[in-house]
Structure 1
Amino acid sequence: MIWTLLNNFSFLTLFFSMGFYWIRAFFNLPKFSDLGKFGVICGNLAMFFLLTYRGFIENHFPLSNFYEALIFLSWSLTSIHLIIEYYFQKFPSSNQWSFIIGGMTTPTALFLNAFASFQLPESMQKLNPLVPALQSNWLMMHVTVMLLSYAALICGCIISIGYLFLYFQQPDRSPQRFAPKRTLHLDQIDQIGFRSISIGFPLLTLGIVSGSVWANEAWGSYWSWDPKETWSLITWIFFAVYLHLRLTKGRASRYKIKSAFVATGGFFVIWICFLGVNFIAKGFHSYGWLPPEGGLFIRLIN
C-alpha cells in the first residue's frame, strides 16, 4: 500500500536523522546537523502525504484511530522542530546548540512512528470508516487541537530538559560566574522552550473546552471525570504552574531552573495523558482509539 511505503520511509528517515544528530553531539561534526535536518524534512513530508492519502481514501479527516493520531503527533513534532531550527538560524551564536534539540525531538518522533508501525495490531492500522461517536464536526476541531497542543508542550519540555542539561554542565553554576556568551545561549534556549509551552497551553485549553462541548453532544454531559478528562486537567494544571512561575516570578535564574524542572515533570505527565491512560484505564475515550473489548494493553500482553 502507498501509505505503508510512506510510513516505512518516514521511519527510516527519522531513524537516520536521530543518528546524524547524535553523531554531531558525540563527535562534534557540525555537517551532520544539516544531514539530520534534511532527514527530518523528508520524514515530515512523508508523514504529511501519508495522512493526506488516508484522508482522501477515507473521505474524512485522518484522525479517526490511534494509528493516525500517533502519526499526526509525530508529524507535528517534526514540524515544530523545523520551526525551531529556522529560529536558531536567525541567531548564529546559538545555532551550535540546535543539534541538542534535534537529538531529543527526533527520538520522540521516531518512537511515535515506530509504535504506530510495529506495536499497534494490524486491525488498528487499517483504513476504516468512522465509528458513530466520531461522526461529528468536532472531530477535526478537538482532536487536532489536542494533538497540536501535545506536540508544542512536548517540544517545550524537551527544550527545558536540554536547558537543564547545559546549565548543570557548568562546574560553577553561579549565574554571576557564567560567561556572557554562554548566558545568552542559555537565555535563548530557555525562551524557545517558554514560547513553545506558551503556544501549547492555550491550545490545550481550547482542546479541553471543545472536548467538553463535544462530550455534551455525544454523551449528555460536559464533564464526567473520565480518565482521559482527568489527566487532561492534571496536564493543564501542571503547565499553568509552569507559566505562573515564568510570568509572575520574573526572569531570575532560580525561577527559570524551577520552571524547567516543572516542565520536565510535565513531559512525563503528557505521556501518561496521551498513552498511559489509553493502555490502562477504561472510559469513553476508547472510541476510535482502542478496542472497547479489553483494550490494546490486554491484546499486547496476550
Structure 2
Amino acid sequence: MNWHILQNTLVNISFAISLTSLFTCCISLTFPNIKNLNKINYIQILLINFSLSIMLGSRWIIEKYFPLSNLYESLLFLAWCITTVQIILEKQIQNQMISSVSAPIQMLIIAFASFALPQEMQKATPLVPALHSNWLMMHVTVMMLSYAFLIVGSLLSVLFLVIIQTKNFQNYQQNNEYYMQTNKVLSINKYSLANYSNTKQNNTGIYSLKRGNLLTNLDNLSYRVIGLGFPLLTLGIISGAVWANEAWGSYWSWDPKETWALITWLIFASYLHSRLIKSWQGKKPAILASVGFLIIWICYLGVNFLGQGLHSYGWLS
C-alpha cells in the first residue's frame, strides 16, 4: 500500500468536506428555518476530524514518532485541534456562531498545507536530536490545543466587532446595561460553558444559545472559550521551559518563539484580567481578543518564516 497517496487522499477529502461545511454554515445562517442543517454540519466536522485522525495516526505508526516534524504536519494537527474544539463546544452548546468562525479557518489551514506548501515540505523528515523526547507530545499537543481554543474564541470576538460595526442593534445597549447590572462576572473554574444567563435547557438536555441577544451571547461565548484556552497556554509554556532546560540547559533563552509565546500569554492574561477584575464587557475586551488572534499567528507562523531561533527547525528555514 502506498501510504503517501493514502495520506494525500485523506487530506484532500478533509479539504473537500471542510469546503462543503463552509457552504452548509452559510446556508444555515442565511436560512435559519431550514431543518437539520446544524446536524449535517456537525456530521461534516466529525468526518473532517476522522479523516485527519487517520492521516496523522498512519503517519505516526509508519514514521514511529508523533507527526509534528515539519510545518505540514503541524498545520494539519492544528486543523485537527480546531475541529476537536468545535466538536466539544457544539456538543455542549447549540450555536451556529461556532461553526461560522471555525469552518473558514480550518478550511484555509488545510488548503494552505495541501496546496501552498511544496511537496518536499509535505514529506516526513527525521526528528532533530532535541525532539527525541517524551516532552514532544505533551508540550506541542497542549500548545496546539491552546491555540485552537484561543483562535476560536478570538474569532468570536472579531465577529462581535464586525456585527456592531455593520448593523445597528437598537436594543443591544439597553440589554448590555441590564446584563451588567444583573449579572456578576462568573468564575471560569466554577461554571461550565453551559451556565449562561440567557440560556435555557431544551428537552434533550443540551443548552441552547439561540434565544437572547446575539451580541451578548457572542461576548460571553468568546470569554468562555478563551478562558479554556488560557490555562492550556500557560501549561504549554511551563512544559516548554522544562523541556528547554533538558534539551538546551536553560529554562528560558528569549528565543523568538519563546518571546512571542510570552507576548501571547500577556495579551490573553490582559483580556481575562479586564473581564474578571475590571468587569469589562463588549467592545473593549473584544478588541483585546482580536489583537490576540493576530499575535497567535505571529507566534505560530510569523517567527518561523524568519528561519531564526531554536524553534526554526523543520519549518521554512
1:9 maps to which residue?
A: 13
Aligned with 2:170: secondary structure? coil
Residues 1:284 and 2:310 aligned together: yes
Bigger mean CA offset, 64-73 vs 182-191: 182-191
Distance 1:174 1:118, change over 3 A: closer
1:133 maps to which residue?
A: 130
Deviations 1:73-109 (A, max 9, x none): 10111111122222223xxxxxxxx333312211101
2:201 maps to which residue?
A: none
Task: Report the residue type matching 1:240 in the other structure.
Answer: A
Using the aligned pairs only, state the percent identity: 48
Bigger mean CA offset, 278-287 vs 7-16: 278-287
2:274 maps to which residue?
A: 245
Which runs of structure 1 show a deviation greater than 4 angstroms over 4 or more consecutive aligned residues? 177-185
Task: Report the residue type matching 1:72 in the other structure.
Answer: F
State the distance in 1 between where 2:79 and 2:232 align: 17
Distance 1:246 1:177, change over 3 A: closer
Aligned with 1:130: secondary structure? coil
State the distance in 1 between where 2:91 and 2:138 align: 28
State the distance in 2 between where 1:36 and 1:217 align: 44
Q: Which has the higher helix share?
A: 1
CA contact (8 A) 1:167 1:173 kept: no
State the distance in 1 between where 2:100 and 2:312 align: 33
CA contact (8 A) 1:51 1:72 kept: yes
Task: Report the residue type matching 2:262 in the other structure.
Answer: L
State the distance in 1 between where 2:243 and 2:212 align: 46
1:85-100 aligned at under 5 Å gives the runs 85-89=90-94, 98-100=95-97
Match of 2:286 among 248, 254, 260: 260
Bigger mean CA offset, 170-179 vs 116-125: 170-179
Residues 1:225 and 2:254 aligned together: yes
Task: Report the residue type matching 2:58 in the other structure.
Answer: Y
TM-score of the superposed pair, with normalisation by structure 2: 0.81
Residues 1:118 and 2:144 aligned together: no
1:176 maps to which residue?
A: 174
Residues 1:41 and 2:46 aligned together: yes
CA contact (8 A) 1:227 1:281 kept: no
Per the TM alignment, residue 122 of structure 1 is displaced from its structure 2 partner at its CA by 1.4
State the distance in 2 between where 1:36 and 1:183 align: 23
Deviations 1:204-260 (A, max 9, x none): 11111111122222222221211111111110110000000111123xxx5332111
2:264 maps to which residue?
A: 235
CA contact (8 A) 2:68 2:74 kept: yes
CA contact (8 A) 2:70 2:124 kept: no
Residues 1:18 and 2:44 aligned together: no
* Structure 1: runs of 5+ lacking an equivalent: 90-97, 296-302
TM-score of the superposed pair, with normalisation by structure 1: 0.85
Residues 1:154 and 2:163 aligned together: no
State the distance in 1 between where 2:46 and 2:289 align: 27
1:93 maps to which residue?
A: none
State the distance in 1 between where 2:83 and 2:23 align: 15
Distance 1:177 1:228, change over 3 A: closer
Distance 1:256 1:58, change over 3 A: same
Deviations 1:91-140 (A, max 9, x none): xxxxxxx3333122111011111111112221221133322121111111
State the distance in 1 between where 2:106 and 2:242 align: 30
CA contact (8 A) 2:86 2:102 kept: yes
Per the TM alignment, residue 174 of structure 1 is displaced from its structure 2 partner at its CA by 5.3
CA contact (8 A) 2:172 2:215 kept: no
CA contact (8 A) 2:143 2:232 kept: yes
Bigger mean CA offset, 78-87 vs 136-145: 78-87
Task: Report the residue type matching 2:274 in the other structure.
Answer: L
Match of 2:58 among 41, 49, 53: 53
Match of 1:196 among 205, 222, 225: 225
